[in-house]
Chain A
């Protein structure tokens, strides 16, 4: 059984560019949640995808968007990158979207915006 995987591992972009991060969920999991972790802080919830639709969203602007595909993998897209978007981006998959469904995290993608 493979765990949650993310790509790429590291990424460097310049301000104003757009970026796409990818996440493959663990086998048997249909829900993907995305988090942003700034240096020295705990992860912050961005949004969750369940059955290919956004199922909940944290306090992030619309330039943060996502997709979930029929195989339950997911993408996080960030438009008009800002310096403050530099962070570790984490995805987590779970068997379902509810509060009793344990989320398992991938290794993260380190995004640096110059």
Chain B
């Protein structure tokens, strides 16, 4: 499995961009990078995913370095409701054509007023 490393916690001021880093130096060429977030005691919410190119959707942007060894999730204008645990996940091919998600500890993002 390609392991991911994230800072345990980060702070951000409301209205500012939140940039959440993730290292995945052992990622394989055909493995995707996924980001989910989990607000206290709720189910994880899908944010965005990518393989090689940068991606953007209505929630966030995902920047993947050219060597694919790290990525950054960007929330362009953080709000208090963005306070959550953010998980960076490299999608594993289990060898039997199934793709499980392997969650680490994630980054606790706290958005301050």
Query: Which residue numbers of A lie inside 8 Å of B, CB to CB?
Result: 4, 33, 35, 41-45, 48, 50, 55-56, 58, 88, 90, 92, 97-108, 110
- CB pair A100–B98 under 8 Å, yes or no, is no
B26-45 interface bits toward A, Cβ cutoff 8 Å, 1 = contact, 0 = none = 00000110101000011111
| Complex partner residue of B43 from A56, A98, A106, CB under 8 angstroms | A106
Q: Give the residue name and chain of the A residue nearest to B34 (CB).
A: A102
- CB pair B42–A97 under 8 Å, yes or no, is no
- CB pair B96–A55 under 8 Å, yes or no, is yes
- CB pair B100–A98 under 8 Å, yes or no, is no
Q: Give the residue name and chain of the A residue nearest to B99 (CB).
A: A99
Query: Which residue numbers of B lie inside 8 Å of A, CB to CB?
Result: 31-32, 34, 36, 41-46, 49, 87, 91-94, 96-106
Question: Which residues of B lie under 8 Å from residue A100 when comparing CB positions?
Answer: 32, 91, 99
Question: Which residues of B lie under 8 Å from residue A44 when comparing CB positions?
Answer: 103
5 more CB-based (< 8 A) A-B contacts, given A92-B44, A105-B43: A45-B101, A99-B93, A105-B45, A107-B43, A108-B43
| Complex partner residue of A88 from B41, B92, B101, B105, CB under 8 angstroms | B41
Docked Cα-Cα span, A48 to B41, in Å, equals: 22
Docked Cα-Cα span, A106 to B34, in Å, equals: 17
Q: Give the residue name and chain of the A residue nearest to B106 (CB).
A: A42
Smallest CB–CB gap between A88 and chain B, Å? 7
- CB pair B44–A50 under 8 Å, yes or no, is no
Docked Cα-Cα span, A48 to B105, in Å, equals: 22
- Identify 7 residue pairs between A and B in the complex whose beta-carbon atoms are under 8 Å apart, listed by A's number: A55-B96, A55-B97, A88-B41, A92-B101, A98-B98, A100-B91, A105-B45
